Chain A
Amino acid sequence: MDFNFTEEQDMVRDGLSRLVREQYDWETRRKAIASTEGWRPEVWAQLAELGILGMPFSEADGGFGGGAVDAMVIMEEFGKGLVVEPFIPTVVCAGGFLKHGGTAAQKEEHIGAIVSGSAVFAFAYAEPRGRYDYADLETTAKKDGAGYVLNGHKAVVIGAPWASHLVVTARTGGERRDRSGVSVFVLAKDTPGVTTRDYVTVDGRRASEVYFENVAVGVDSLIGVEGEGLALIELVTDDAIAALCAEACGAMKVAHAMTVEYSRQRKQFGVPIGKFQVLQHRMVDMYTAYEQAVSLTYLATLRLGSDEVERKKAVSAAKVGVGQAARLIGQEAVQIHGGNGVTDEYAIGHYFKRLTIFDSEFGNVDHHLKRHVALS
């Protein structure tokens, strides 16, 4: 049992922390998310240069041989700065599908492009009526000669406006919510028949509704075995949830620190409000919730390679516990900031917004509590 980070992991953290501090300051971020592009490709290029985008891939696949703990370290730093660049969709999700289910040719084609920063991916799994069930799919992929034809509508595809490629889930057989009959495809976003409606999300990122109308892809577009994609999706999204929890931990850490600092500065009744025990104890409860969330994130991250039940239970435990902590810390941080907490000007509100949307990604607290019960 070991809770230490390696020297390399400490270096990654220090490097990223510097990058976020020096190039992702609040004003720069504010301008970038309000710009037409909504992100900064030059930051993405820097992440590639620093080796961040290649971290979780094996050396044989062209990466740097890191793993889930590295992704955790990276996402925690991103969370601290509310970095919007799509590491999870590209590296953890698309990268994960390629690693766990990709053919040699698919890895060859895509992993190098991810590592170098030239390909950006979005993961189109959610649907307007599917909620958090990866198998509740209305999007279809019908076998057609040498390939498949995709039809359907994918909802809130994070990072899709920036993406060059998509990973898409679709039903190749079975009934709407069957566990079998689910397949995963990778394709270029400019494949004919793919259209998007792009928009801004409340937490400062970009997303799209993605429509597929008779989109023809080759068999080489299929990742894994036709109709047996659900287990692969669960495996990859569990990786994504662990990384997402790490991001939330980073954001909670900063939100808590900002709140404590604010309570030191802000005076009412002639004293800093941080002198009031009623607020002190609330900030302690935020701190305790944060520490427990970090622990659950470690647990989930370290169980990603365990057997299926153990892995899913640990990941669901983390999504529940981190989700609850995120809500508590976000709401309390705003409350203790008083009126300033509900302004657009103060950073704290933006942390609150990111921590709010976190809950709805890859299943919320209720969804994962249900999954935990089902596995117990």
Chain B
Amino acid sequence: MNLEFTPEEQAFRDEVRAFIAENYPKHLADFGMREDMAREDFLAWHKILGKKGWSVPAWPVEYGGTGWTPTQRYIWSEENARASTVMPLPFGVSMVGPVIYTFGSEEQKSRHLPGIVSGDVWWCQGYSEPGAGSDLASLKTTAVRDGDHYIINGQKTWTTLAQHADWGFFLCRTDPTAKQQEGISFILVDMKTPGVEVKPIKLLDGGYEVNETWLTDVRVPVENLVGQENKGWTYAKFLLAHERSGIAGVARSKRGVEKLREIATHETLDGAPLIKDFDFAKKVSQLEIDLAALEITELRTLAGEQAGKGPGPESSILKIKGTEIQQRLTELTLEAVGTYSAPYMGGVSNDNSNEHPVGPDYATHAAATYFNMRKTSIYGGSNEIQRNIITKMILGL
């Protein structure tokens, strides 16, 4: 057992760090991800990485993966967090991509995987419905076979960044008579198909990150069915486990704690830097300790994956703790900026004001980010659902 990088790993870290420094778009430097960015800004780094062959590190090499060890992947995400890069979005890279290369047809693989690797095709996820949240398997959107097509009808919701999407993957009911989980299919839909309508939902932070997606008599060729008809729930669960393993966000949170410390060095309390206040510093230390624990837990999970175990129910721990820490971080950041947490700067999507924000720059988004991050314990299977998964799969109750 040891925590040290080998000389080869150190060389890899230097290579990655240099590559980021030389190739990451300057206008997006130290920016982080913001939901109001233009489509091309979201995709800029993805496309550069696609050309380099680094956009889908975790994939099998034959489909574009890098063949990196878990430690190399850890270094990769650390270095990207260090530079606050806008990483490739998960919908293609971590969600539908692995489903297609694991369960899809050869034709689907050759048609869809290259666009995910290159960053040319934007995917969105059609899972949740107004009546099917945590109880996802109760979904009502139907796909009815009509010759060589499925006719899809229904309403999806919380479709993240669907306003930019070229393609979507949808869970649809194909057998209304079967038991809930057994009548669902996993279908790929071209978002330009007639009958697909995307309507933005305004969120607490003033931004438009998610949408309602209406599907009205949408005709989709049967070859867009992934795997077998009525087996979609299996693929959906597979996807959720993959989604959870990246969800811990350890490297980003570490960078976030650094930024929090910077803010607390500028802010003052009783004439001294806020970070010198023991009550506040104690909360930051507690957060760092929880984060250190999560980091090792994630590395243990990665080591297990390297030893041949796929992401299992342990990834639910990463989801719960990772999101709790992300939320705590935004909560402490909000607390640190103090009174300047209050001014509303027109929402992050509203750029019709040329006025400089009031208060320090670091305060501008503190409240919006705090509000926005409440989503993390709700999405990807709420943290309560994660507890149900652990109950069943690990405690065996």
Contacts and interface: CB of A to CB of B under 8 A. Distances in A.
A and B interact physically: yes
Q: Which of A4, A5, A284, A302 has the most CB of B within 10 A?
A: A284
B390 A287 contact: yes
A251 interface: no
Contacts of A281: 384, 387, 391
Nearest to A285: B387
Contacts of A274: 395, 397
A291 interface: yes
A4 B299 CA distance: 12
Interface in B156-215: none
B264 to A, nearest CB: 11
B285 interface: yes
Nearest to A375: B285
Contact of B299 (A3, A69, A291, A370): A3
Interface in A278-292: 280-281, 283-285, 287-288, 291-292
A3 B5 CA distance: 12
Interface in A313-350: 314, 317, 320-321
Interface stretch (A29-37, A42-50, A168-176, A293-301): A293-301
A125 to B, nearest CB: 25
B319 to A, nearest CB: 11
B281 interface: yes
A275 interface: yes
Chain A: interface secondary structure? helix
Contacts of A302: 1-3
Judged by DSSP, the binding face of B is helix
B293 A292 contact: yes
Interface string A259-287: 01001100000000011010011011101
A303 interface: yes
A184 to B, nearest CB: 29
B346 to A, nearest CB: 36
B278 A292 contact: no
A369 interface: yes
B254 to A, nearest CB: 13
B290 A292 contact: yes
Contacts of B284: 373, 376
B289 interface: yes
B290 to A, nearest CB: 7
B290 A2 contact: no
Interface string B258-291: 0001000000000000000010011011101110
Contacts of B290: 292, 321
A1 B321 contact: no
Interface residues of A, number: 38
A317 B281 contact: no
B289 A283 contact: no
Given A295-B300, A376-B284, A288 B292 contact: no
Nearest to B303: A3
A179 interface: no
A293 B293 contact: yes
A317 B292 contact: yes
A373 B278 contact: yes
A296 to B, nearest CB: 5
Contact of A288 (B5, B288, B321, B396): B321
B388 A280 contact: yes
Given A2-B1, A275-B397, A291-B317, A373 B292 contact: no
A337 B284 CA distance: 35
A299 B292 contact: yes
Given A280-B395, A281-B391, A283-B395, A296 B299 contact: no
Interface in B372-397: 384, 387-388, 390-391, 394-397
A143 interface: no
A291 B317 CA distance: 9
A291 B297 contact: yes
A295 B1 contact: no
Interface centre among B9, B388, B390 (most CB of A within 10 A): B390
A372 interface: yes
B289 A372 contact: yes
Contacts of B314: 291
B320 interface: yes
A343 B84 CA distance: 54
Nearest to A302: B3
Given A292-B321, A302-B2, A284 B395 contact: yes
A233 B171 CA distance: 61
A299 B299 CA distance: 11
B286 A303 contact: no
Given A1-B4, A292-B321, A298-B1, A320 B286 contact: yes
B397 A263 contact: yes
B387 A320 contact: no
Nearest to B304: A3
A359 to B, nearest CB: 15
Given A293-B293, A317-B288, A321-B290, A1 B397 contact: no
B296 A296 contact: yes
Nearest to A301: B1
Contact of A3 (B282, B300, B317): B300
Contacts of A301: 1
Contact of B397 (A280, A299, A321, A370): A280
A299 B281 CA distance: 22
Contacts of A291: 297, 314, 317
Given A281-B387, A321-B290, A376-B288, A295 B297 contact: yes
A19 to B, nearest CB: 23
Contacts of B293: 292-293, 295-296, 299, 317, 321
Given A295-B300, A373-B281, A4 B294 contact: no
B71 interface: yes
A280 B286 CA distance: 26
A299 B296 contact: yes
A320 B289 contact: yes
A142 B82 CA distance: 54
B285 A298 contact: no
Contacts of B384: 281
A373 B321 contact: no
A120 B261 CA distance: 47
For the complex of A and B, 9 pairs with smallest distance between CB atoms? A295-B296, A292-B293, A280-B391, A3-B303, A317-B289, A274-B397, A284-B387, A372-B285, A295-B297
Given A299-B296, A314-B292, 4 more contacts: A274-B397, A280-B388, A288-B320, A295-B296
20 contacts: A1-B2, A1-B4, A1-B5, A1-B9, A1-B74, A3-B303, A4-B1, A260-B395, A277-B388, A280-B388, A284-B391, A287-B395, A291-B297, A292-B297, A295-B293, A295-B300, A321-B289, A321-B293, A369-B285, A376-B285
